Chain A
């Protein structure tokens, strides 16, 4: 099956710093989503981005489908950005089944 690898596994930042999280996947996809899982376990949608670039406030994401990777950028990080960031992909012939990476655990220190 399709493999999803996220890097780095852990990241510690000072408040105000910028960061880039990466998601590599092993096959073509027709859906890619980035999620933030907050300390209470809620998965919050950040981006639906099978290709191209999107921005939402301090967050932006880019997916290069032909090279099978996606990047999530966090600028001017805040302590509330802490949590685990997941990338999840869906193959074109498998309906809505999402395959998740292992996540990047981000900790933003004041």
Chain B
């Protein structure tokens, strides 16, 4: 596609539920990144993929969070046993090569609200 797309755009769930957030990167981009943005803050890194593998998952806050990219294109961020503190905007970005030192292009985000 022309840009990075994310679905759903908004998600409301109840505490304790499981959610999946999807990211479609720019066609042909090797690298895919997930960030989380809380209200009034800058985005914070969660995880990045080089192809199908997670090259750096140091930003995942705990083991309730994990992400996959099985075919090297679409990625899914999965959150188990959601907590109210997980409420944030989840942003996805992609870049052509993933070796660093290149522009990252961001999607519109998924706004997650945990009640």
- Tell me whether A and B are bound partners: yes
Chain A residues near B (Cβ < 8 Å)? 4, 30-31, 33, 35, 40-43, 45, 48, 50, 86, 88, 90, 92, 94-103
Given contacts A41-B108, A42-B108, A43-B106, 14 further A-B contacts (CB under 8 A): A31-B100, A31-B102, A41-B111, A86-B42, A95-B50, A95-B98, A96-B31, A96-B33, A96-B48, A97-B33, A98-B43, A98-B93, A98-B104, A100-B35
User: Complex: how many Å from CA A31 to CA B105?
Assistant: 13
Interface Cβ pair total, 8 Å cutoff: 74
Is B56 an interface residue when CB atoms closer than 8 A count as contact? yes
Is B44 an interface residue when CB atoms closer than 8 A count as contact? yes
Interface string of B40-62 (1 = CB under 8 A from A): 01111100101000011011000
* CB-based contact A45/B103 at 8 Å: yes
Q: Which are the 8 A-B pairs with shortest beta-carbon distances? A: A100-B42, A43-B106, A48-B103, A30-B101, A97-B45, A95-B100, A31-B101, A100-B43
Chain B residues near A (Cβ < 8 Å)? 31, 33, 35, 41-45, 48, 50, 55-56, 58-59, 89, 91, 93, 95, 98-106, 108-109, 111
* CB-based contact A95/B56 at 8 Å: yes
* CB-based contact A95/B89 at 8 Å: no
User: Complex: how many Å from CA A103 to CA B102?
Assistant: 21
* CB-based contact B100/A92 at 8 Å: yes
Chain A residue nearest to B3 in the complex (CB): A42
Contact residues in B for A50 (Cβ distance below 8 Å): 101
* CB-based contact B91/A96 at 8 Å: no
21 contacts between A and B (CB under 8 A): A4-B42, A30-B100, A35-B106, A41-B89, A41-B109, A41-B111, A45-B103, A48-B102, A50-B101, A86-B42, A88-B43, A90-B100, A92-B100, A95-B48, A96-B48, A96-B99, A96-B104, A97-B56, A98-B45, A99-B45, A100-B42
